[in-house]
Structure 1
Amino acid sequence: LRASLLDCFDRDNYGMLSTCFEGILKKDPTCYHTLARLISMHQNGDYSADSLLEMIGLHLDATFADHNTWREFALCFLKISQYEEDRMSVCLNGNGEKKQGFTVRYNRIPKILTEGKQGKNWMFRCRWWLNRHFSKKVLASDIATGDLQLLTYKAACASHMYGQEFHYVVKAYTSLQDENDRDLFMFLRMHMQNSIRLSDHLSRNK
């Protein structure tokens, strides 16, 4: 009710709206309508990628979502990978010498994913989803459905969680090569090249 009232009368109060929607999802993580509102806010620049990643994670803990949800999940990971690849250009002036430039790289994976209670939750999620979403049996089922978008977007997420050598990722990659779907193939390849390898970071933070 509170979220509905805010949406009607104070829809520009994005902080309060997102807090309300997050509360709803935490109580009922199967509620796709609420998740869709957060996705819309994120697409409009009013909700962060790491917060949306957490909310989609909760939703996927409770449901087996369609390819659209997995696509948004993958795009959140990609944005976080861009945090990690953030670069700062610095110019140096010598005594009459030509300016030189260099770059400094930072590891900026949000602490919400790797530290404290949330870090422990993500570690558990990475282990649990090996069977829930990414087992060999699930992979065979996903391939059998013929839904290449679902296969692609799940594989993109798996590459960020487990690395590009993970069996689900490798099989999806070869399947897309065989299907000759260039757009989906390039989507998966981009995510593989920018994988944050979340499980590796979590293992180092034990």
Structure 2
Amino acid sequence: MHTLCRLRASLLDCFDRDNYGMLSNCFEGILKKDPTCYHTLARLISMHQNGDYSADSLLEMIGLHLDATFADHNTWRDFALCFLKISQYEEDRMSVCLNGNGEKKQGFTVRYNRIPKILTEGKQGKSWMFRCRWWLNRHFSKKVLASDIATGDLQLLTYKAACASHMYGQEFHYVVKAYTSLQDENDRDLFMFLRMHMQNSIRLSDHLSRNK
């Protein structure tokens, strides 16, 4: 079955590469059989960057890949950017201005929670709840944090912290330590990247807890 999925994807890529729905289904099937296959994940990332694959679907596929691997900083960066994109369409801000009697206008912001149900409900919601708990030890434990800092790979530290902020919140220990480490290193670009994600955190684990 796995070989057939690969063959089908190869044929589609050669003869019907504009059929993005079929292609993505094939690539997803391959990843579900072999979540360590970065080449297949890279194809989905490329489709997403071209606007042909959704952020929430890519988030799920990268999640499967990270369940099975300890990926480099590029994969964590793509994962973080999926969370950020979801945060931008799950919070539809509507500004309302009221005119007083000759008084200054006052602005209000209304926030609508639109986290995709695929992340919080049903079978995949349970899968994400398990993942959030499991990754506390697998990817974000204090021991892993110390190791990530010791390697000196600030990009890995930054992008993992950005993902952690979306999964667990800005006050999560991995996020706080990475934030202070980047301040000490004086790397403005990475610092601003992490800060942006912290400010737009979707706090996925909180939503999952409420949906129990």
Q: 1:100 to 1:129 in 2, by over 3 A?
A: closer
Q: 1:93 to 1:121 in 2, by over 3 A?
A: same
What is the aligned length? 206
Q: SS of 2:58's equivalent?
A: helix
Runs in 1 of length 4+ with deviation above 2 angstroms? Answer: 87-105
Gaps of 5+ in 2: 1-6
Cα shift at 1:84: 2.1
| Residue of 134, 151, 158 corresponding to 2:164 | 158
Identity of aligned pairs, percent?
Answer: 99
- The answer to whether the Cα contact below 8 Å between 1:83 and 1:107 also exists between their aligned partners in 2 is no
Q: Deviation string for 1:182-206 (max 9, x for gaps)?
A: 0000000000000000000000000
Cα shift at 1:99: 11
Mean Cα deviation higher: 108-117 or 81-90: 81-90
How far apart, in 2, do the equivalents of 1:156 and 1:97 lie?
Answer: 42
- The answer to whether the Cα contact below 8 Å between 2:90 and 2:116 also exists between their aligned partners in 1 is no
How far apart, in 2, do the equivalents of 1:17 and 1:93 lie?
Answer: 52
Cα shift at 1:87: 2.9
How far apart, in 1, do the equivalents of 2:106 and 2:182 lie?
Answer: 43
TM-score scaled by structure 2? 0.91
How far apart, in 2, do the equivalents of 1:9 and 1:172 lie?
Answer: 46
| Residue of 176, 179, 192 corresponding to 2:198 | 192
Cα shift at 1:100: 10
How far apart, in 2, do the equivalents of 1:41 and 1:90 lie?
Answer: 37
Mean Cα deviation higher: 158-167 or 97-106: 97-106
Q: SS of 1:164's equivalent?
A: coil
Q: 1:96 to 1:180 in 2, by over 3 A?
A: closer
Residue 35 in structure 1 maps to residue 41 in structure 2: yes
Q: Deviation string for 1:159-200 (max 9, x for gaps)?
A: 000000000000000000000000000000000000000000
Cα shift at 1:93: 12
How far apart, in 2, do the equivalents of 1:19 and 1:187 lie?
Answer: 32
Mean Cα deviation higher: 52-61 or 96-105: 96-105
Q: 1:133 to 1:96 in 2, by over 3 A?
A: closer
Cα shift at 1:85: 1.8
Q: SS of 2:109's equivalent?
A: strand
| Residue of 182, 185, 201 corresponding to 1:179 | 185
Q: 1:97 to 1:184 in 2, by over 3 A?
A: closer
Q: Give the structure 2 partner of residue 111 of structure 1.
A: 117
Q: Deviation string for 1:94-125 (max 9, x for gaps)?
A: 99999998764311100000000000000000
Mean Cα deviation higher: 90-99 or 110-119: 90-99
TM-score scaled by structure 1? 0.93
Q: 1:90 to 1:30 in 2, by over 3 A?
A: same
How far apart, in 2, do the equivalents of 1:93 and 1:23 lie?
Answer: 55
RMSD: 2.4
Cα shift at 1:86: 1.3
How far apart, in 1, do the equivalents of 2:145 and 2:76 lie?
Answer: 15
Q: 1:93 to 1:171 in 2, by over 3 A?
A: closer
Q: SS of 1:91's equivalent?
A: strand
